[in-house]
Structures are given as structure tokens and as C-alpha cells.
Structure 1
């Protein structure tokens, strides 16, 4: 059958490949971790194999899917245009750099932000496994973008990434200062963004600031609710934190979070944009 589309789920080279009809309805998926093709509609079996042939590994198995969980059903019904899982780190800023109307000076200021998000995104993507899920560039309508959303056994982390520029960074209750630059409102922003994410996902969400390439980080003793991370410390912290979510809970929350519609109309209070510079 002509017109079948193969769409990835999750980061490149991981997760599943979904085979969809032109109207977006899934007819099969290929799980690259288990090397298995699950076919939902048997009349499309040969067309599915043809569409997946460039991606298959030797020794794959093929058959009907296991009994779907509620998370599976929701994921299968998710229109591709509403799926946030393929977003790259820094997706929103990459668009501004490529197509925005900002001048040369503004683009120059954005580049360190993009590089920091890409660096932190690479570190977080290394967590991806059956137990961890990571989303990038989750837009909060009217309030900016969550740089990274991490969902795993230790809970949900809402991450704002800040370039350290090889300078000293000081994190306070309301402001963050890097070197001699003007203080930023990132601590206040990430708290409110995490609260909004918690309402959208109906689950606790921890705010986090990721300082990339800072020469030194000083955190005020009163800052107890925000996790302060660096690329080198993020994976050990997340891997060693006590488990609070079971794998089915992680998957259900990930399916909910990757749906763009989850984040629409859930503000329940203002979240300042917080300038990025």
C-alpha cells in the first residue's frame, strides 16, 4: 500500500518507529530495543514490512501487539503534529536563529543559549532507557519554553538551562547571576514553570537549573526546592535518587507530556517569560 509513513518516537536511533496511514492512524510499530514489529491491521502486513525494511535488524519478529495499556492507546491516537517527542534540544531557539527577524547582535546572544541546551540535552538523552524518558523544548503557551523535561523512576524534573560562560554563577531565591552580567530571573521562572507542569501532568514536578560550563557555582543556603545541576553531575544525581515512580507510571506520564495539547490552557496563573540573554 502506498502512502504509509514511518515516524520516530523519542530520540533518534532509540524508541519505536511507527507506521501510519496518510490520515495519521497507526497500523504498526517497530520496537528497536526488542527487534519486534507489532502489526495492528493484518491487511497492511506486507506494506508495513516494505516501509520498515530500511530500518530492520536481522532476526526481527513480527506479530500482533501485546494487549495495549491505556498509555499505549493514548500514544497510538496522538497525531504526529501534536507529538513533542521528536523535538531537539534548543528547538525553539534554533528556529529563532534560522528564521527569526532578530538582528545580528540578538542572534549572537542566542547562540550560547542554544549550545548550552544542546550540551545539556545530550547528557539527559544518555539517560533514555526503558526506565527514563526525556522531552526537549516543551512550550508553555504565553509563558516561554521548558528546556528539558525528565521523567523517570526518581520523578519529574523541569529543567531550565543557563550558559555559565566559564564564569562564576550565583543562584539565589529569585535571581541568578553569571559573572558580571545583569541578574536573571531564572529561579523564579523555573519554580512557576514546574508548578504549571505539575498542574498539567497532575503529578509532583521538581524545578531544576542546569549551569553549563560555569567555572564555579554558589547556591544560597535558602535555595532548597531547586535542584542545581551541571552536565557532569546530572546523570549521577538522577540515577542515584530514590525511586518514586514505577515503569508504567513513567510511561503514562511521558505519553501525557509529549502531547502538545496537554500544555494548552493549563496556566492557572501567570508565568513570566523570563528573558533569555
Structure 2
């Protein structure tokens, strides 16, 4: 514990700690928003890979399977165009990171479920002052966390109830993510 606390001393580490705390607050906020999905939907939070990284939220339901990456950008302007996402004009790696996370989860869940499981990447933005999407066919769904449950539950069904249950059973197993 002391080593962990010592690691966070100093100005650079203090900045990292504040960033981590804001990120955690954003993930918790998104988790609360996802509670309003219907009973046909399942949500797993902080799904851990053996590498130590995680999927913030894995959402499984009739509308499909989604890896949701929470981004806490309180009071900032988020813009999504053909070249990616900017926050207050600064470029981010949100799109490639979200797409990579979804591809990895798709491969793992396909292997564990025994059928092809498409995982669609989602960026849930928390607290932004303004979100602008200027992308005609976005590879990643970018949505305010407040609208997330409504947007996902409004999607047309692509999975049968038995498929939803099979993917959810696979996703809940720690063995699925340890390989």
C-alpha cells in the first residue's frame, strides 16, 4: 500500500492520479446510465484481460454486443469528424483505441461462444459542454452517456434471445478473458 501511495507523489504523478480519478468517475456515471437498459440487456463492467487492461463496459442485448469506452470530458467541446475525435481542438486516439478494443473482444467472444460475435465500439462521453458529430458513417458510435441506454435499446434486434444468453454466459466467465 505504501509503495502504491509513494508512486502517486510528485506533480506528474498527482496529475496522473487526478486523470485516473476523473476517468473512474466517468465510468461510474456511464454504469449508472446503463442501468436503465431493459431486462433483455446484460452489462458487465471492467472486464479484465489477462494483460491487465480492461473493457470499461460490455453490453449484450438484442441490438448486439458493444464495448463501451467511457470518456470524461467535463465542460469540454468534443468533435467527431472524418479524421477522428478532438477535445477542445486537440486530437485524441479514442477512435483507434475503441476499434481495437472491440476487435479484441469480438475475437475472444467468438471463440468462447462458438459463433461469430460482432462487437461494436462505443464512446460514451460524460460531461461534455458540446458534442458535435460530423461523420456520415462513423466506425465508432459516439454518444453522450446520458443518451447511451436510449440509443442502444432503440437499435433493431440482431441477436436472438438464445444468442444473447450464450454470449452473456461466455462473457461472465473469467476463463474467457484469461487466454
Normalised to the residue count of structure 1, the TM-score between the two structures is: 0.55
Aligned to 1:109: 19
RMSD in angstroms over aligned alpha carbons?
2.2
Q: Counterparts in 2 of 1:155-234, with a 5 A limit?
A: 155-172=64-81, 175-179=84-88, 182-202=90-110, 203-221=117-135, 224-234=138-148
Deviation at 1:223, TM superposition (A): 5.1
Q: Distance in 1 between matches of 2:76 and 2:176?
A: 37
Structure having the higher helix fraction is 2
The answer for the alignment partner of 2:28 in structure 1 is 118
Bigger relative contact order (CA 8 A; separation at least 6): 2
Distance 1:208 1:253 in 2: 18
Distance in 2 between the 1:193 and 1:100 partners? 31
What is the match of residue 114 of structure 2? none
* 2:169 paired residue number: 255
Question: 1:16-60 CA distances to partner (integer Å, 9 max, x unpaired)?
Answer: xxxxxxxxxxxxxxxxxxxxxxxxxxxxxxxxxxxxxxxxxxxxx
Task: Report if the CA contact (8 A) 1:174-1:186 is conserved.
Answer: no
Q: How big is the shift at 1:261? A: 1.8
- Deviations, residues 113-133 of structure 1 (Å, cap 9, x unaligned): 11111110111122252x110
What is the alpha-carbon distance in structure 2 between the residues aligned to residue 234 and residue 100 of structure 1?
A: 38
Task: Tell me by how many angstroms 1:175 deviates.
Answer: 4.3
Matched with 1:73 is none
| Stretches of structure 2 lacking an aligned partner (at least 5 in a row) | 111-116
- For the Cα contact (< 8 Å) 2:131–2:144, is it kept in 1? no
**Which protein is bigger by CA-based radius of gyration?**
1
Q: TM-score with structure 2 length normalisation?
A: 0.83
